Each structure stands twice: as C-alpha cells, then as structure tokens.
Amino acid sequence: MTLKRLAMRRHQLFPNYRILVKHVREQELRDQRRLRELELKYAQQLSREKSHEDFVHMAVHELKSPVTVLKAYLQMMGMKLSREEQHTLLSTIEKMDVQLDRITHLISDLLDGTRAGLGTLHCLMNDFDINESARVCMANLKAAHTDFVTELDTDPSEPVAYGDRERIEQVMNNLLTNAVKYSPGEKYVKLQTRLVEGQIVVKVTDHGMGIPEHKQQQVFDQFYRVDTDGGKKVPGLGLGLFICADIIRKHSGQIGVSSREGEGSEFWFSLPYRG
C-alpha cells in the first residue's frame, strides 16, 4: 500500500485523526506541566521539612548546652559538700541533678519525636545480645527506683538480635519508665525476652493503672496521652511510645499493648532474630 493510500485509509477510519493527535499532544503537555509542578512542590516540602529538622536540631543543641554546664557546676558543689559532710544540702544537689536529667530526656524526646514525625529517625543495624541489653536497662531502672519490685526473665538460649542496639535500649527504657510512671499503686515491673517463632519478643509488664481498651491503640500516636484521672496527674509529652513505634517499624518489627484498666499493662515488641 502506498503512503497516499495509507493516509486515505487512515482518514476513512479516523476522520478526526488530526484533532485527535492535537488533543493527545495537548494532554501530554498538560501532564508534563503537572508533573513538573508536583516535583517542585515535593522539593519545596522536603526543604521545609529539612529546615524544620535543622531548626529543632539547633534548638536542642542550644537547650542542652546550659544544662550540661549546670550539671558540671552541681557536680563541683556536690564534691565540696561531700568533703564538708553537709548531707542535707548534698541530697538537694542530687535532686536538682535528677531534674536536670529529666530536662535532658525531654529535650532528646523533642528531637527524636520530630525526626520520627518526618521519617528521618535512622537506625544503625548490627547483631547484638538482646539479653545483655535487657540486663543493662533493668539495672538502670533498679538503681533509679529502689522502691520497685523488679523481675528480669531472659531467654535461656541467649538469642542474638539484629538491629540498632542503642535505639532498642531506648525503646526498652521508654517502656520501663512508663511502667514506673503509670504505677502509682503496686510498684512492680517485669522485663522478659523470648524467642517466639523465629522472632525475638520483649515484654514489659506492670501492675499499674492500665489503659481503657478503646484507647490502647491510640497510645502510639504522636502527642496522645490517656486522659483518665490518674493519667492526667502524670507529666509527659506523649512522644515516648510514638518514638518507640517508629524505631520498631524501622526494624520491621511489631509493637503492641494489652492492658486492663486498674489492673496493669503489658507492652511488647518484636525484632528480627539473628541466631
């Protein structure tokens, strides 16, 4: 078939061929323009988020510096008071030091909470001994809360986990701190590690105030705090569990809670098992 015939045939089949081509081209141009607009918006959004994170990072640094200096001064005063055996003043200094540690934690939570919200909280994955982490976290808790009855139940097979050890210890510490914070009555905390169906499962149990069933899933949301009478009395930012959930998500693990109001809670998370 000659070219001329082809053109005629095409004209018979699609009488509006030229209009159709023009229409398709215009649509293509519109799509390209829209794509460019979206790319630009995305780049602007990324740079806004980056400057938001940069700002929080800078603010955190600015807030942490005076706290570090204050801690150093307190330490010097503590040493002097200890030499002079001024025990009452020394105990006041120790209480001030505890409060400064609280401020440091709150500042760190603000930074990690921002990062978790922006998806920029990073984890450095490695093999590590999960039982050793549990022992360290429990020892810290026992030292800080001598009034609590504690129980540590580690898996006898000494499993090796795959993840960011520091971040996982941050999760354990957060769950243990919550267990203490939300247990105004019976002061009991248990930390357990177990190998279950090829995964490592870590559980923190308390006999505290518990969480009403319909609020249990929301506790992992950013800034969420349970507004029961008991809960309202305990200070906090509502960022701890949000950060924990993000860290565990980065490990392809799961996090959850089962709880009964007035009886206690069991928070757990799972992690990849290495051997």
Ligand X SMILES: Nc1ncnc2c1ncn2[C@@H]1O[C@H](COP(=O)(O)OP(=O)(O)O)[C@@H](O)[C@H]1O
What contacts 210, CB < 8 A, 6 or more positions away? 259, 260, 261, 262, 263, 264, 265
Binding site for Mg ion (CB under 5 A): 178, 240
**Contact status: 117 vs ligand X (CB under 6 A):** no
Q: Which does 209 bind (CB under 5 to 8 A by kind): Mg ion, ligand X, none?
A: ligand X
Task: Name beta bridge partners: 272.
Answer: 199
Choice between 117 and 240, CB closer to ligand X: 240
Shortest Å, Cβ 236 to Mg ion: 5
- Separation in Å, CA 113 to CA 105, 221, 240, 244: 12, 11, 8, 10
Shortest Å, Cβ 124 to ligand X: 23
Determine the size of the site formed for ligand X (CB under 6 A). 21
Helices (H), ranges, 182-239: 229-232
Place of tokens 């019976």: 186
**Planar angle of CA 177, 79, 144, nearest 5 degrees:** 15
Nearest residue to 159 (alpha-carbon basis) of 196, 123, 189, 122: 196
Shortest Å, Cβ 250 to ligand X: 17
**Contact status: 170 vs ligand X (CB under 6 A):** no
Choice between 208 and 240, CB closer to Mg ion: 240
- Return the number of other C-beta atoms located less than 10 Å from residue 66's C-beta: 11
Cα(69)–Cα(224) distance, integer angstroms: 33
Q: Which does 273 bind (CB under 5 to 8 A by kind): ligand X, Mg ion, none?
A: none
**Contact status: 225 vs ligand X (CB under 6 A):** yes
* Single residue of 78, 238, 256, 272 touching ligand X by CB under 6 A: 238
Choice between 113 and 240, CB closer to Mg ion: 240
Cα(172)–Cα(204) distance, integer angstroms: 8
Shortest Å, Cβ 239 to ligand X: 6
Place of tokens 């293509």: 28
- Can you spell out the DSSP letters for 124-138? --EEEEHHHHHHHHH
Helices (H), ranges, 2-16: 3-13
Amino acid at position 52, single letter:
H
**Contact status: 178 vs ligand X (CB under 6 A):** yes
**Contact status: 211 vs ligand X (CB under 6 A):** yes
Choice between 242 and 269, CB closer to ligand X: 242
**Contact status: 201 vs ligand X (CB under 6 A):** no
Choice between 159 and 210, CB closer to ligand X: 210
**Contact status: 191 vs ligand X (CB under 6 A):** no
Q: Which does 128 bind (CB under 5 to 8 A by kind): Mg ion, ligand X, none?
A: none
Binding site for ligand X (CB under 6 A): 178-179, 182, 206, 208-211, 219, 224-226, 231, 236-242, 265
